[in-house]
Amino acid sequence: MLDGLVAGALADAARRREARPLTAVERAALDRAPALDARAALQRDATIKVIAEVKRASPSRGALAEIRDPAQLARQYAQGGASAISVLTEERRFGGSLADLEAVRAAVGIPVLRKDFIAEPYQVLEARAAGADLVLLIVAALEDPVLRELHALILELGMTPLVETHDADEVRRAVDLGATVIGVNARDLSTFELDRDLFGRLAPSIPDDTVRIAESAVSGVADVEHYRRAGADVVLVGEALVTGGDPVATLSEFRAVS
């Protein structure tokens, strides 16, 4: 599953590059106003922080929400107390786009994450050109030389890498990389099965000065409390917000967890 998602994302990036060459995207990235300090926005606080996700669909659940106006949803997320907004830009299985990212960036004043299957520099430059402040790097999808190259480019462009892990070896690789924002995804991207206790098993291996993000398997306040007890500074939430009917109220409940 993961290999197919990465291959599709790279094919779509190649198509976009035909219409917008690397040099043009690089100029647009460098012309952008400086990225917001996402790591500072996500630092541990008295109550848990939330990255709220604009998510129309997923391979595991299919269609979730139509989301005709991602900018309006982003404003609701900000109103509910989100510390950052994740925008899925993968087109084939998640129904996202870079246009969604640009719309969200224009609508809110908090950090915005490009969540996609990033595997080459062109995609990183696209993220900055569209206004992203964070870029997701999935350790399971990248060999160490490419992981290091993309991590360095994200930092060079003033953005923050969110380095996502799924097992102890991937956490070690992320720590060795010098990542300061590390996510643990409860969803196995090979099988799409969930393990809500994975974060708790891996969190002790993540240095204390690193922002620790628990991703996936959040359907209600009890899940947020579970992750907080296990040491999460931040939870990343998508499906519970786009399917729940009242994202402002849901976020306010989540943000109250201490």
Catalytic site residue from 55, 90, 97, 102: 55
Q: Please identify which of the residues 102, 126, 170, 215 carries the catalytic annotation.
A: 215
Contact 105/131 with Cβ under 8 angstroms?
A: yes
**Residue appearing with tokens 């080459």:** 120
* Residue 58 is a catalytic residue: no
- Decide if 49 is catalytic: no
Specify whether 185 is catalytic: yes
User: Catalytic one among 83, 170, 185, 239?
Assistant: 185
Integer-rounded Cα Rg, in Å, for the chain is 17
Q: Helix (H, G, I), strand (E, B), or coil: what is residue 161?
A: strand
User: For this structure, is 55 an active site residue?
Assistant: yes
Q: DSSP assignment, residue 109?
A: S
3 state SS of 15: helix
Task: Tell me the one-letter amino acid at 184.
Answer: V
- Which is catalytic among the residues 90, 102, 120, 164? 164
Catalytic residue among 53, 102, 170, 239: 53
Catalytic residue among 49, 86, 90, 115: 115
Please give the C-alpha separations between residue 149 and each of 53, 114, 177, 235, in angstroms, as whole numbers.
26, 17, 10, 27
Choose, from 58, 102, 216, 239, the residue flagged as catalytic.
216
Query: What is d(CA 217, CA 233) in angstroms, rounded to the nearest whole number?
Result: 16
Annotated active-site residue 53? The verdict is yes
Told to judge if 170 belongs to the known catalytic residues of this protein, a careful annotator would answer no
Do 176 and 227 touch, CB atoms closer than 8 A?
no
Using the structure block, give the residue that is written with the tokens 């070690």.
Answer: 172
Count Cβ atoms within 10 A of the Cβ of residue 189 and give its class: 0-12 exposed, 13-18 middle, 19 or more buried: buried
- 215 as an active site residue: the answer is yes
**Residue 139 to residue 38: CA distance in whole angstroms:** 20
Q: How far is CA 130 from the centre of its chain?
A: 15
Of 193, 189, 185, the closest CA to residue 232 belongs to 185
Residues taking part in catalysis? 53, 55, 115, 164, 185, 215-216
